Amino acid sequence: MTEVPVQRKKNHLWIWLVLLVVAILLIWWWVSETAEVEPDRTAEYAESGEYPAYPEAAPSATSGPATGDVGRTTIAAILDNPSRYIGREDITLQGAVPDVPTDRGFWIEDGGRQLFALIIDQPREVPKDINPDQRLEVRNGMLRGKDDVAQLPGEVIDQDTRAILDEQDVFLVVDESDIEILSRP
């Protein structure tokens, strides 16, 4: 057999390691320059007992007479003073579901008071499965009065749902994507 001379190439691994370290340092520098990092002042706040005041949320645009920011509320507050909430589109509340009488709506209850919630009928890939005895959080709900039934978004309302809406002074209109199921039975 003949011997074939093999020439060994030099290992340039150290060049790649140096380039990797330089790239990591450049990325670290860029992130530290662009990120606005707030120092952790938890210990300061705990010692002094004074926590910073957070600015109040700006009121949202409404179509109704209500003023100020409503945000999170209760069913009792809505039913006790509906004129404050009609037209609002930023209502957030939690409650239990005692009954689901139609495909388009369900009752939500909190503290023994009930409010009918109408789901905007818009196509979804996976519809929410709302059942009795679940606990829900509804965000960005729109409170409407019985005079607003004709202007509701979505498909035509079925007769059963329409009969329930006709009996209500106020009801909540909500998109399925704004409903979070907190607990199941």
Domain residue ranges of the chain, discontinuous segments joined by +? 75-183
Contact 122, 154 (CB under 8 A): yes
179: three-class secondary structure by DSSP? strand
Q: What is the pLDDT of residue 58?
A: 41
For residue 88, count CB atoms less than 10 angstroms from its CB and return exposed for 0-12, middle for 13-18, buried for 19 or more.
buried
Q: Which fold does the domain 75-183 belong to in CATH?
A: OB fold (Dihydrolipoamide Acetyltransferase, E2P) (2.40.50)
pLDDT of residue 50: 57
| Average pLDDT by stretches of 10, the chain with 185 residues | 72 88 93 66 59 45 43 87 87 90 89 89 72 90 84 77 87 88 81
